[in-house]
Structure 1
């Protein structure tokens, strides 16, 4: 048997999406998608996955098709369009969800997760740094669907996130199913300023604690 925080020694490829596993095989499952610019092995993704695994959660990370293509061809390709991203996400859900699970992701990955609430295998959604709008362009809002979200959704948002800071998010109309937890002085990756008195590690620890509690709460619900 593998230790709780072990990363699987092999990378699976269910169709188009490479997959990496952390945590015990009998733990509640969290399917964790990466953001637009970094893949599933980015330090942020790995640290969050490892932290969740330490609490007994089975974390399934995967690469979207465009990210696989970047690695194969050593070229920079932009993210796929939403239908292709959602299809890849759904494929991983079908592969790894033997019962309803929590899905989520960093930035773009979280937004894609929030668009899959109609999937019967999705019990809850967790978004780490939701990209409500491009930096400096609040008019290009991408969170309209959160006003009618019908499943529990946890959003962990940096107070200074340029994709949607605390003051902006507090003024938004969100479903009662959406809970927003603000990360102290955090930017889009939850990094605080030195003068704030907080540290990046402190914030990541808070994020893992909040996320773990949410995933376990979904697992205990009937």
Structure 2
């Protein structure tokens, strides 16, 4: 799927407390907002939904940044623990939003699966304006008692707009399960597929676009 990504305008390596992270920046001319996405806990490529969202949103004037955590660049097969992921994420977002080449606001942070968890936990610390979750892993498959709902609700508690796009057959939590943990049902969009969504994630892209355009509109007011 990575081959289908648009050509990046910049690749930034950032030193973190846990090694080098990489931010691949897709910044169209006259970009008016920024979306920073993290990956899940498995694999070393970008999934179809992230590729499709990147193509769609750069076409609509968003700078989209895909962040590779240090464990990925080291070639490890298992993701680091949550505190390590968070500590590596913070300086990356800081580097993207500061300095002469700072990306434009509003800033929406997000990711899929483990990357969505990182975004929720750190949104307030990085000064995000909103959070986008693709396939939030509400609980391990078959273990609803091990809920991560407290993480999911952190942006809401901080007063930040949040949207979750969840596969209707996701074993890590169905859309109905996720809605039950949030203040209003409209914070969740159901999409075809499981934790990986479908092969043609048009519904994921549509839900993402609707949320991000609303965030951008609110920011202009």
Q: TM-score, normalised to structure 2's length?
A: 0.81
Q: Where does residue 125 of structure 1 map in the other structure?
A: 131
Aligned residues: 201
- TM-aligned CA distance change 1:106 to 1:157, over 3 Å: same
Q: Does 1:18 align with 2:22?
A: yes
1:164 is matched with 173
Paired residue for 2:34, among 23, 26, 29? 29
Tell me the equivalent position of 1:207. Answer: 204
Structure-2 change in CA distance of 1:40 and 1:126 (3 Å): farther
Larger relative contact order (CA 8 Å, sep ≥ 6): 2
Q: CA contact under 8 A between 1:128 and 1:156: conserved in structure 2?
A: yes
3-state SS of paired residue (2:95): helix
Structure 1 residue ranges (4+ consecutive) displaced by more than 6 angstroms after TM superposition: none
| 1:176/1:96 CA distance change after superposition, 3 Å | farther
Superposition deviation, residue 178 in structure 1:
7.2
- 1:54 maps to 2:70: no
Pairwise CA RMSD: 2.3
1:69 is displaced (CA, Å) by: 0.7
Mapping 1:4-153, distance limit 5 Å: 6-8=6-8, 11-15=11-15, 16-27=20-31, 28-39=33-44, 41-70=46-75, 76-97=76-97, 98=102, 99-119=105-125, 121-147=127-153, 149=156, 150-153=159-162
> Distance in 2 between the 1:87 and 1:59 partners?
21
Which residue in 2 is equivalent to 1:73?
none
Q: Which residue among 211, 214, 219 is the counterpart of 1:217?
A: 214
Which has the larger strand fraction? 2
Per-residue deviation at 1:209? 2.0
* Unmatched tracts of structure 1, length 5 or more: 71-75, 192-199
